[in-house]
């Protein structure tokens, strides 16, 4: 082995002038301005806590007095954001794991993990699991219902979203082949800025429930799908963090009369020995109702979702395994084939 190739390679590095011929100074400046313009929206959206707001307000007033001019506070700065409170109902969990289940280094040990930190993890990773063009993401989940039903789901998801799926329930098996993006939302096309993402998601909100509940469910679609790009997932989790800080108010229910008091809370916990942070939607005007998403603090992946309906019935879906494989199992090929044509052959 010689060092000559690397020496030659350094000498071939594109110069600034070469790069400027294609990525011109004008284009660079245009992108910089776009980034800063987007941040103006993001800065507005990222409201600081009440103490900082008070200090900022005092500083503005003092500055105004000194110069003879007074700058009015923006209306949003006068509200006191709600502080996220732990959910009263604790999940059935095991003790936190003492070590990582994959090869990635664990985050620093902390007493409390925030959603913002989960968003950072989400934005840094190469998606929940990297999938090549000829590979499949294999996901195994277990769904449990309060009537005792347990369904094991084994899915193979290709890079383009097509999904080969087998559901097993008490010995009965059903097979499905479908394009993974269900409904109008395509996570790949969503904005990567949280405020822009909120505006986009609201376009899909039907208006039959509160904005908070609608957004929570849409965010759940985005972060739970295996197809969302890392930046989109990060933006969705940041949006969730912001929703958790907004004031809790009782408002008329959009449909059916009555009132609704939507609230999003954050709780620390663990799921099957994986340290997790749970984000829950509740409606204080509706007893029992609760939707919770649990994020693995190491990977930002959804490890479990829990639904408690107003009648008290419970549903949970827990991810047991996420891996990447080179091909479909023979059983799946036999039942569903490899051609991308939607199939729902039914139960065996």
Partner 1 sequence: MTHKRNPSSDTAEEEFRTLYRHTARRVYAYARRQSDPDTAEQVVSDTFLAAWRHWSRLPDPVLPWLLLTARNALRTQWRTRHRQARLTTALVFQPSIATVPSAEAAALSHQHTLDAVARLNSDDREALLLIAWDGLDYAEAATVLGLSRSAFASRLSRARQRLDALLVDDDHHHYPASSAKEIPA
Residues that bind partner 1 (CB under 8 A): 1-6, 8-23, 27-28, 31-32, 34-36, 38-39, 42-43, 104, 120, 123-127, 130, 133, 159-160, 188-189, 192-193, 227, 229-232, 234, 238
- The set of residues, in sequence order, having a beta carbon less than 8 Å from that of 346 and lying 6+ positions away, is 174, 175
**212 phi/psi in degrees, rounded to 5:** -65, -45
Which is closer to partner 1, CB of 113 or CB of 267?
113
CB 271 within 8 A of CB 294: yes
Which is closer to partner 1, CB of 81 or CB of 229?
229
CB 338 within 8 A of CB 162: no
Q: 194-202 vs 230-245: helix axis angle to the nearest 10? A: 80
Q: What is the DSSP letter of 78?
A: G
| Nearest distance in Å: CB 22, partner 1 | 5
| Nearest distance in Å: CB 31, partner 1 | 5
332 alpha-carbon distance from chain centroid = 30
| Nearest distance in Å: CB 300, partner 1 | 12
Which is closer to partner 1, CB of 43 or CB of 89?
43
Which is closer to partner 1, CB of 12 or CB of 111?
12
Question: Where in the chain does DSSP place strands (E)?
Answer: 136-145, 150-158, 162-169, 172-179, 251-252, 259-260, 262-271, 274-283, 290-296, 302-308, 314-325, 343-347
**69 phi/psi in degrees, rounded to 5:** -120, 150
Which is closer to partner 1, CB of 114 or CB of 288?
114
| Nearest distance in Å: CB 290, partner 1 | 30
Q: What is the DSSP letter of 341?
A: -
| Nearest distance in Å: CB 185, partner 1 | 14
| Nearest distance in Å: CB 330, partner 1 | 26
Which is closer to partner 1, CB of 34 or CB of 71?
34
- The set of residues, in sequence order, having a beta carbon less than 8 Å from that of 4 and lying 6+ positions away, is none
């Amino acid at each position: 082995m010689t060092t000559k190739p690397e020496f030659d390679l350094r000498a071939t590095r594109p110069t600034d002038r070469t790069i400027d011929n294609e990525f011109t100074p004008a284009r660079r400046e245009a992108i910089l301005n776009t980034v800063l313009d987007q941040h103006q929206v993001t800065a507005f959206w990222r409201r600081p806590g009440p103490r900082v707001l008070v200090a900022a307000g005092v500083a503005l007033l003092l500055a105004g007095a000194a110069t003879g001019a007074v700058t009015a506070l923006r209306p949003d700065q006068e509200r006191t954001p709600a502080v996220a409170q732990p959910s009263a109902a604790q999940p059935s969990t095991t003790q936190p794991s003492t070590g990582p289940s994959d090869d990635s280094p664990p985050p620093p040990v902390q007493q409390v993990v925030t959603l913002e930190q989960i968003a950072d993890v989400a934005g840094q990773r190469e998606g929940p699991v990297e999938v090549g063009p000829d590979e499949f993401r294999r996901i195994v989940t277990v769904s449990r219902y309060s009537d005792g039903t347990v369904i094991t789901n084994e899915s193979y998801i290709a890079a383009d979203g097509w999904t080969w799926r087998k559901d097993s329930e008490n010995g009965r098996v059903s097979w499905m082949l479908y394009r993974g993006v269900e409904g109008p939302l395509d996570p790949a096309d969503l904005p990567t800025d949280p405020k822009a993402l909120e505006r986009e998601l609201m376009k899909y909100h039907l208006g039959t429930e509160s904005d908070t509940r609608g957004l929570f469910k849409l965010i759940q679609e985005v972060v739970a799908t295996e197809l969302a790009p890392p930046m989109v997932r990060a933006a969705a989790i940041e949006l969730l963090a912001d929703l958790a800080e907004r004031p809790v108010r009782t408002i008329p229910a959009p449909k059916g009369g009555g009132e609704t008091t939507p609230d999003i809370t954050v709780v620390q916990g663990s799921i099957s020995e994986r340290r997790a942070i749970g984000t829950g939607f509740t409606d204080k005007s509706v007893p029992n109702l609760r939707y919770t998403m649990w994020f693995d603090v190491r990977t930002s992946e959804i490890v479990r979702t829990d639904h408690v309906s107003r009648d008290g019935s419970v549903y949970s879906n827990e991810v047991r395994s996420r891996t990447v494989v080179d091909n479909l199992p023979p059983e799946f090929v036999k039942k569903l084939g490899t051609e991308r044509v939607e199939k729902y052959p039914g139960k065996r």
